[in-house]
Chain A
Amino acid sequence: MSFPTSGTHNSSLPLRIDGLVKRFGQVTAVDGITLELPSGECLGLLGPNGAGKSTLIRSIVGRVRTDAGTISVFGAPADSMAARNTLGWIPQELALYPRLTCRENLQSFGRYHGLGSARLAQAVERCLGWATLTDRSTELVKNLSGGMKRRLNMAAGLIHQPKLVLMDEPTTGVDPQSRNHIFEMIEKLRDEGMSIIYTTHYMEEAERLCDLVAIIDHGKVIAQGTNAELVQNTFGSRSQVRARFAGADERTATWVAEHGGHPVGGAAEFTVEHPTEIAGLLEASAKAGLELIDVSLRRPNLESVFLHLTGRELRD
C-alpha cells in the first residue's frame, strides 16, 4: 500500500506562509508567522495548548479568514480549489459520521473530494488497509474503539491522495498502544515522501516523527529547525542537571533560583557548560543545608528548548 505523491504537482513548495496574522477579537491567535515546508519533509508544530497551532492549521486549510499575510499550497492560495485538491486535513476532532460504517465514511469523504467510482473504490481499499481497518470496514463508527476511530479519522483525510497532509494532534485521547500504531502509519507516509505538517504538544512525538520542528508560543514561531539545530542553537554544548531535594520549600526554591536553576515537576533543573560543574553544584546545596535525594545529568531535548525559551513546560 502506498500513497503516490509525486509527478503531478508543480515544483512550488508544498507550503509557504508569510507574515500570517489572525485575531479573534482582542486575542491574537497567530502573530506574524512565516514558515516554509520543503517537499517530502515532516514539519512539527510544537507548542502548548492555546499556542495557535490549530488556528494556523485551520488557516492553511482555508477554514479561517486571516487578517494579514499569505499562504500558498503548491503555489496556489489557501482555500482555492487547487489547494483543496492537494491538501489533506486530519482535524483534532473525530470528524466522522458515527452512524455510517468505516467504508461508508471513506466513500462519503472520497465523493466530497470528487473521486469517481473506480478511483473511489481503490482509494477506500487503500485507506482501510493503511489504517488496518479492512476487517472492520462494515462496522459502524460509533461502535469502534477510540484508537480505531482515530485511525479512520486519519484515513478520511487521505482518501483523495493529497500531496500535503495537515495532522492536528492526531493522537489526542488514544492509549499508548494505539498511539504507537498511529506513529507507524505516519512513518509510512513520511517514508513514501509525503509532505506533512504535524501539530502536537508531545515532545516525544515531534522528536520521533518530524524532520523539522517549529516551536510556537503565543501565536509566534519562537524557534525552528531540525531537532539537533534547535538544541544546539539554544544550549550549545551545555547539559542539564536535574536534582530533587527533600522537603522542597521556599528556602529550596530561593536557593535554586540563586544558582540559575528553575523548578521542573517537583525537581530543579540547572544548565551546566560541562558535567564537571555538577560537583560544585552539589557541594553548594549541601552547604546550604539542602538534602539531595536524586540527581541526573542529561542532554537537552526539545522540551528543554521550549522550557528555556518560554519559561513554561509544554503541557502547562
Chain B
Amino acid sequence: MISAIVRTALVSLRRDRGALALSFILPVVFFSIFAVIFGGRRDTTSKVHVLVVDEDHSRASGRLVQGLKQEGSLVVKTRPEPVKDAEQPEYTAATAEIAVKEGVGPIAIIIPHGFGENPISFGPADTNRPTIQLLEDSSDMVAPQMVSGLLQKVAMTSMPDLMADQGSKYLDQFAGGLTREQRDRLNEGIRQLRERQESGAITAASGSGSGGIIAFNARAVVGENKNNPMISFYAAAIGVMFLLFTASGAAGALLDEAESGTLDRVLSSRVTMTSLLLGKLTYNSLLAFSQLVVMFLWGWAVFKLDLWSHIPGFIVMGVCTAVAVASFGMLLASICRTRAQLGALSTLVILIMSSIGGSMFPRFLMPEAMQKAGLLTINAWAIDGFTKIFWRDEPVSHLWPQVLVLVGTAVVFFAIARRVARRWEFA
C-alpha cells in the first residue's frame, strides 16, 4: 500500500516539470551562485577598485602607489578611463571625491603634499604631519576596511628602507643621539635595503605586515549624512524582488482568463490582443509602482528613509522599474501554458535573477564575473538607479543609463510577449 502511494507520487512528480525544476534544479543553481559568491575561488575573488591621488609626487609616495598597484586584490586607478581614446588627466582630491560619489570606486586614497618627508610614524600620531586621506563610500562596508589594512601592509613591504630610515630617526631622537660611527653603519644598512628594494628582491606581495605605521584620516563622502544608510539599498533590493513576483502573479490572470474562456469573450468584443496586453501591462505597472510607494513610505515612516527630498528620482526609477517588471511578468505569462507552469518558472527565474542581481546580496561584494552577469537582470539596474538617488544623491539626469536599460527591457519583453500571445488570438 505504501509503495503504491510512493509510486503514484513519483509518477506525478516526474510529469510535473515545474515541481521537478523547483526540487532539483533551483537548489543546485542557488547553491552554485552562493558558492561562487562566498566560496572564495581565488580567480574570481572580488577586487576592490581604488582611486589614488598622489599630490606629493615624492619617492615615498611613488613607492606607495607602486606598492598598491602591485597588490593583487586592488585595482588602482590614478586617472579616469580614456574618453574616445584620449587619456584623461590624473585624479585630484576633488575629482576623486566626485568619482567616489558617482560610484566609480568605493574608496579614494589621497596622498598629500609633504607625505614623503615623514611617511611612516611610530608612536603617537603627529597632528601637524601631512596625513593620507581616505574618502569612503560607506555603502560598501568591506572596501574601506580592506584598503586601510592593505595600506599598512604595502607600507611595510614596499618601503622597508623608508621604515628603517624613519626608525633610525626615532632612535636618534629618543635614545639620546647616535655616534657618527653608528649613524654611518645605519645609513649603509638602509642603502643596501633600498638597493634590494629597487632591484626587485623585495616586492609588495611578499611578506606580511602589521597595521598602524601609516597614519590616515577616513571620511565618508557618500552617505555621511544618512539616517540609516542601508535602508534605501534594501528597500530597492527587496522591493524589486517582490515586484517581480507580484508582476508575474498578476500577469498570470491572462492564463486564468484563457482557461475560463473569458479571454475568448473579451477578444470577441472590440478589444484587440494588443490593447488587451497594453491594458494588462498598464495595470501591472501601476500595481508594481504602488508596491514601491508603499515600501518606501514604510521605509520613511519606520526607518527614517529620506524619501521626500528624492521624489523626482524616486518617481523616475519607480516608473521605469515598474514597467520593466510588469513586462517581464507578461513575458513569463505568455510563454507558459498553465498557472502551475508559471508559478514554477517564475519562482525559478526570479530567485536566480534576484541572487545574481543584488536583491539578496550586494553586487559589489560579488566576484567581478558575477557582478557583470548581474547586469543581465532587472534587479541590478533598478537597484543601481535607486542607489544613485537615495545613496549618492545624484541628480535625475544621471539616471539615464538605468532608465534606458529598464525601458528598453520593457519594450523588448512586451514585444516578445505580444508575439507569443498570438496563440491566444485564433485557434
- The residues of A with any CB-CB pair to B shorter than 8 Å are 24, 55, 58, 61-65, 81, 84-85, 87, 89, 91-97, 109, 112-114, 156-157, 160
- Assuming the A-B contacts A58-B427, A64-B426, A65-B427, are A97 and B268 also in contact, with contact meaning beta carbons closer than 8 angstroms in the complex? no
B272 to chain A, nearest CB (A): 9
Given A58-B427, A63-B426, A65-B426 in contact, is the A113-B269 Cβ separation under 8 Å? yes
- Chain B residues with a Cβ under 8 A of chain A: 260-262, 264-271, 426-427
**Which chain A residues border B271 with CB–CB below 8 Å?**
112
Contacting pair B265 A156 (CB below 8 A):
yes
Cross-chain contact of A84 among B261, B264, B269, B427 (Cβ < 8 A): B269
Contacting residues, chain B, for A156 (C-beta < 8 A): 265
CB distance from B33 to the nearest CB of A (A): 38
Q: Are B427 and A97 in contact (CB under 8 A)?
A: no
Neighbouring A residues of B267 by C-beta, 8 Å: 63
Cα–Cα, bound, A94→B261 (Å):
7
Of all chain B residues, the one with the shortest Cβ separation from A96 is: B262
> What's the nearest-Cβ distance from chain B to residue A100, in Å?
11
23 A-B interface contacts by CB (under 8 A) = A62-B268, A63-B267, A63-B268, A63-B427, A64-B426, A65-B427, A85-B270, A91-B261, A91-B264, A91-B265, A92-B261, A94-B261, A95-B260, A95-B261, A95-B264, A95-B265, A96-B260, A109-B265, A112-B266, A113-B269, A156-B265, A157-B265, A160-B269
- 5 nearest A-B residue pairs (beta carbon): A93-B261, A112-B269, A95-B261, A95-B265, A65-B426
B265 and A84: CB pair below 8 A?
A: no
The smallest C-beta distance from B168 to any residue of chain A, in angstroms, reads 85
Question: What residues of B have a CB within 8 angstroms of the CB of A63 in the complex?
Answer: 264, 267-268, 426-427
Q: Which residue of A lies closest to B426 (CB)?
A: A65
Given contacts A94-B261, A96-B262, A97-B262, contact A61 B427 (CB under 8 A): no
Q: Which residues of A contact B262 (CB under 8 A)?
A: 95-97
Question: Contacts A63-B427, A91-B264, A112-B270 given; 12 further ones with Cβ under 8 A?
Answer: A24-B427, A55-B427, A61-B268, A62-B426, A63-B268, A64-B426, A64-B427, A84-B270, A87-B268, A95-B265, A96-B262, A114-B270
Residues of B close to A95: CB separation below 8 A: 260-262, 264-265
Whether A81 pairs with B270 at a CB distance below 8 angstroms is: yes
Query: Does A94 lie within 8 Å of B427, measured CB to CB?
Result: no
Chain B, Cβ-Cβ closest to A92: B261
Contact present for B260 and A84 (CB under 8 Å): no
Q: Which B residues touch A113, using CB under 8 A? A: 269-270
B89 to chain A: closest CB distance in Å? 62
Bound-complex Cα distance A62 to B262 (A): 15
CA distance A157 to B271 in the complex (A): 14
Q: How far is the CB of A104 from chain B (nearest CB, A)?
A: 13
A58, A84, A112 pick with most chain B CB within 10 angstroms: A112
